[in-house]
């Protein structure tokens, strides 16, 4: 390795992808993050440690989806590490698909992901509309619609009426499925949310599957590239003002 590349690698923010038994999107997530410029690597969930800038819980079927998707992984010691890294180190945490399910099961994000309505596994690109939201994930998502693939049978986001209102009021709904493109019956067609700080986010669609120019899909890569800039910039622990975005849906 040349000196130049060593220096570059040392400066790049570290992104850690937690691997659980049954995770199956960890490799492409590491690849997408690396392509975007992160110093990314996968770590077995029991070995997860603080110190990274971004933690990603990837897609898959942790513990075979036994009991409920994400329910058993939510009790991994990795979630304790994640909590401390976010609260005390200012790290960011992103759950994708099964990772989103883990975050709701762990109570890091409100609500629950339930079986799709109509029933069935959906695996296809969807159009996502960013909403008026705050935080690094909202800024990384940008303001234009994006096309990311989904691949889930348990992605119907449900939440109590009170929390649903709180999510919208607090600028925590990051994106919704485009109007005629609702794949799972989620309340308000919600596809992605964040916690109240904006530092923890869950997405049902897969940005890492839209991050390879050879596949003609770059929307996910752009998201990770913008997220890299968020990680390189000054870390704010207080949520910024929700930003205005196109409001043609939702």
Q: Which of 115, 125, 142, 250 binds another protein (CB under 8 A)?
A: 115
E strand residue ranges, 117-238: 122-130, 146-152, 156-158, 173-177, 190-194, 200-203
Q: Which residue has the tokens 């990772």?
A: 99
- Do 176 and 155 contact (CB within 8 A), yes or no? no
E strand residue ranges, 131-179: 146-152, 156-158, 173-177
Is residue 118 within the footprint of another protein (CB under 8 A)? Answer: yes
- Say how many C-beta atoms besides its own lie within 10 A of residue 16's C-beta: 28
Here's the x/- map for another protein, 153-192, by CB under 8 A: it reads as -----xxx------------------------x-------
Here's the x/- map for another protein, 62-81, by CB under 8 A: it reads as -x--xxx--xx--x------
Is residue 240 within the footprint of another protein (CB under 8 A)? Answer: no
Nearer to another protein, 33 or 200 (CB): 200
Is residue 105 within the footprint of another protein (CB under 8 A)? Answer: yes
Residue 249 gets the label, from left (phi > 0), alpha (psi -120 to 50) or beta, of: beta
Is residue 119 within the footprint of another protein (CB under 8 A)? Answer: yes
Residues lying near another protein in the complex (CB under 8 A) are found at 63, 66-68, 71-72, 75, 104-105, 110-112, 114-119, 158-160, 185
């Amino acid at each position: 390795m040349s000196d130049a590349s060593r220096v570059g690698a040392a400066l790049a923010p570290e992104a850690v992808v937690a691997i659980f038994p049954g995770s199956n999107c960890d490799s492409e997530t590491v690849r997408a993050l690396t392509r975007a410029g992160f110093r990314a690597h996968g770590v077995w969930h029991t070995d997860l440690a603080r110190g990274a800038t971004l933690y990603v819980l990837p897609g898959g079927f942790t513990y075979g989806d036994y009991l409920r998707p994400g329910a058993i992984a939510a009790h991994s010691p990795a979630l304790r590490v994640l909590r401390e890294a976010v609260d005390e180190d200012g790290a960011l945490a992103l759950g994708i698909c099964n990772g989103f399910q883990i975050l709701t099961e762990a109570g890091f994000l409100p609500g629950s992901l339930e079986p799709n309505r109509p029933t069935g596994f959906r695996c296809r690109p969807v159009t996502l509309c960013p909403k008026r939201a705050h935080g690094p994930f909202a800024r990384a998502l940008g303001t234009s619609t994006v096309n990311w693939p989904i691949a889930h049978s348990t992605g119907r986001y449900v939440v109590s009426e009170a929390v649903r209102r709180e999510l919208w009021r607090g600028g925590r709904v990051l994106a919704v499925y485009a109007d005629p493109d609702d794949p799972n019956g989620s309340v308000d067609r919600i596809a992605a949310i964040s916690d109240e700080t904006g530092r923890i986010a869950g997405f049902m669609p897969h940005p890492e599957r839209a991050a390879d120019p050879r596949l003609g899909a770059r929307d996910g890569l752009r998201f990770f590239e913008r997220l890299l800039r968020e990680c390189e910039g000054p870390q704010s622990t207080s949520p910024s003002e929700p930003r205005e975005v196109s409001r043609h849906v939702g």
